[in-house]
Amino acid sequence: MGTRGRSQRRVAPQRGRLIVRLLAIDPGSCRSALVYYNTEKPVRGTFVTGPVESRFLIPNDEALGLIADQKFDRLIIEMIEGRGMRVGADVFRTCVWIGRFTEACYEKPVVEIYRRDIKLHVCGKTTAKDADIRQALIDFFGGDEGKTRAIGGVRCPTCKGKGWTGRKHVYCTKCTLADGWESAPGPCYSIVKDQWQALAVAVTYAARNRNEKGVAA
Ligand SMILES: [Zn+2]
């Protein structure tokens, strides 16, 4: 990360401008989950057409590098809040990293979202656990069943993903488009662990700021 950011004035959000690409972070004390999320892509369909452009679960130093690249319109960070509970050193360490991530975002606006608000938006209740958030996201992105399921990526058992069968390579009739998939990789394909939380951050921001034109500042 360069030193450019320190001397530059933080940029104020431009009202009315459309926010296409988000970088959403679920920050941790040592490593963080990040998702690049395109707000103009449909949430139902395949991984190729879907809004999740890439996802990471990387050491915080590397996350700083992604942020410093500034290849997004807005940085959305899940913010820690006091809930009257005793907290350990890792929580304070995470807070330090949230500060460093914010500082590294020298050109684009940063928005903090509280976990409570994410739970409320995604699951409709503040008592939701990580597993509830994951399941709610799967439902949102196409569910567990059907050809266009949220995760998908199941190869056709008849042709074993080839799209054809036999010596003469006749088109497989089981995967109707003969593309070799029983269900193509869905919008949430290969998302793991805390990346689900980062995705929840992006989905919440996009939903709260969407108007008839798209996601606006
Ligand atoms: Zn097949």
- DSSP code per residue over 99-166: HHHHHH--SS-EEEEEHHHHHHHHHSSTT--HHHHHHHHHHHTT-SSSTT-SSEEEEPTTTTTSSEET
pLDDT of residue 12: 62
CA dihedral defined by 183, 43, 60, 114, rounded to 10 degrees?
-130
Measured in Å, how far apart are the chain's first and last C-alpha atoms? Answer: 26
* 130 Cα: distance to centroid of ligand 1 (angstroms): 35
* 74 Cα: distance to centroid of ligand 1 (angstroms): 41
> By the 8 A CB rule, do 174 and 156 touch?
yes
* 169 Cα: distance to centroid of ligand 1 (angstroms): 11
Please state, in angstroms and rounded to a whole number, the distance separating the CA atoms of residues 138 and 156.
21
pLDDT of residue 84: 82
> By the 8 A CB rule, do 68 and 2 touch?
yes
* 176 Cα: distance to centroid of ligand 1 (angstroms): 7
Task: Select the CATH number that applies to the domain covering 21-144+191-208 from these four: 3.30.70.940, 3.30.360.10, 3.30.420.10, 2.40.50.140.
Answer: 3.30.420.10
Give pTM, 2 decimals.
0.88
**Reduced to 3 states, what is the DSSP secondary structure of residue 24?**
strand
Please state, in angstroms and rounded to a whole number, the distance separating the CA atoms of residues 39 and 214.
8
* 175 Cα: distance to centroid of ligand 1 (angstroms): 4
* 163 Cα: distance to centroid of ligand 1 (angstroms): 5
pLDDT of residue 192: 96
Q: pLDDT tens track of the chain, all 217 residues?
A: 444 444 445 566 566 678 899 999 999 999 999 999 999 999 999 999 999 999 999 999 999 999 999 999 999 999 998 878 888 999 999 999 999 999 999 999 999 999 999 999 999 999 999 999 999 999 999 999 988 899 999 999 999 999 999 999 999 988 876 789 988 899 999 999 999 999 999 999 999 999 888 888 7
* 152 Cα: distance to centroid of ligand 1 (angstroms): 15
* 40 Cα: distance to centroid of ligand 1 (angstroms): 32
Residue ranges of domains in the chain = 21-144+191-208, 154-183
* 138 Cα: distance to centroid of ligand 1 (angstroms): 25
pLDDT of residue 214: 87
* 156 Cα: distance to centroid of ligand 1 (angstroms): 4
